[in-house]
Amino acid sequence: MGSFYTVVGLHLPNHEPFITNRSHCDICNHQLSFIDMIPIISFLFLRGKCRYCHKKISNLSTYMELFTGILFACSYYAFGLSFNLLIALGIVTLLIIVSVSDITYFIIPDELLIFFTGYFLIITAINSGLSAALWSILSGFLLFSIMYIIMLFGNFMFKKETLGGGDIKMMFVFGLILHPIIGIFSIFLSSLLALPISMILLWKKDQNLIPFGPFLIIGCALLYFTKITPEIILKLLQI
């Protein structure tokens, strides 16, 4: 799944087919066989090089395969066989694909967000009823609006674009699965996570464009997997 998610993240922003096309080396375009695509094992066995042109290949897919396996295992450990597990796996899937696409192209594909909007709504409706699904839509619009206001404020303060449209639209998706208070807290948590890494990247690469999408999903995932409730957050704010 991690290998497939990497392909989706690389091809979807360019509107390239990722299901029908056979996998190939990005350098020599030679079609890959089954033994070239065994997750993690093939990369280690081939020592990070293409079996045909012997050029060094990207280790992005290997990292994504490893992280996907670990996060899938954590999802099952946290929620067992339940509807919450399906939501957790959806969050992990979104995290991996968005990380690949946002880091590579600074794009969060609309098709991906539309798919997971339907996915989370269907799970919520089946598990908690249609009324709960409708309330989750309102929560999504609330988080979307808050993120949009943050973008307008940031643009006004810094006189340039501070958030991408994909980041704002993704908050709507998070609103479908998070309580509004949890969703608002996830924005601040994501910013705290992004701050030190952003400063390091700015210092090392001298770049002023940082993909924020992966941090947003990590913040959402941390709060969802730790099962923090709005009551806990409100108590923390009172301290």
Q: How far apart are the first and last CA of the chain?
A: 43
Whole-angstrom Cα distance, residue 44 to residue 191? 35
User: d(Cα 41, Cα 66) in Å, to the nearest integer?
Assistant: 11
| Residue with tokens 């280790």, as numbered in its chain | 59
pLDDT tops 60 at residue 239: no
Averaged pLDDT score across all residues of the chain: 88
pLDDT(99) > 90: yes
The HSE-up count of residue 149 (CA atoms within 13 Å, CB side) is 8
Query: 3-state SS of the chain: helix, strand, coil percent to 5?
Result: 70, 0, 25
Cα Dmax for the chain: 62
Q: How far apart are CA 215 and CA 201, in angstroms?
A: 14
Comparing C-alpha atoms, which of 74, 75, 46 is closest to residue 61? 46
Least confident of 34-38, 95-99, 232-236: 34-38
* 211-236 pLDDT, tens digit each: 899 999 999 999 999 999 888 888 88
- State the residue for tokens 């108590």: 235
Residues 62/43, Cβ–Cβ less than 8 Å: yes
Predicted pLDDT at 58? 78
What is the tens place of the pLDDT at every residue in 129-141? 999 999 999 999 9
Across 47-61, 113-127, 151-165, least confident range: 47-61
Q: How many domains does the chain have?
A: 1
Confidence bin at 237 (pLDDT 50/70/90): confident
Distance between CA 88 and CA 226 in Å, rounded? 11
Phi, psi (degrees; rounded to nearest 5) at 19 = -110, -45
Instruction: Report which of 59, 89, 63 is spatially closest to residue 77, judged by C-alpha positions.
Output: 89
Place of tokens 């001298």: 206
Residue 168, domain extent:
2-238
What is the identity of the amino acid at 5?
A: Y
* Nearest one of 153, 144, 213 to 184, comparing CA atoms: 144
Residue 54: predicted pLDDT = 77
Rg over CA atoms, the chain? 19
| Whole-number pLDDT of residue 20 | 66
Query: Taking a C-beta distance cutoff of 8 angstroms, is the pair 102, 11 a contact?
Result: no
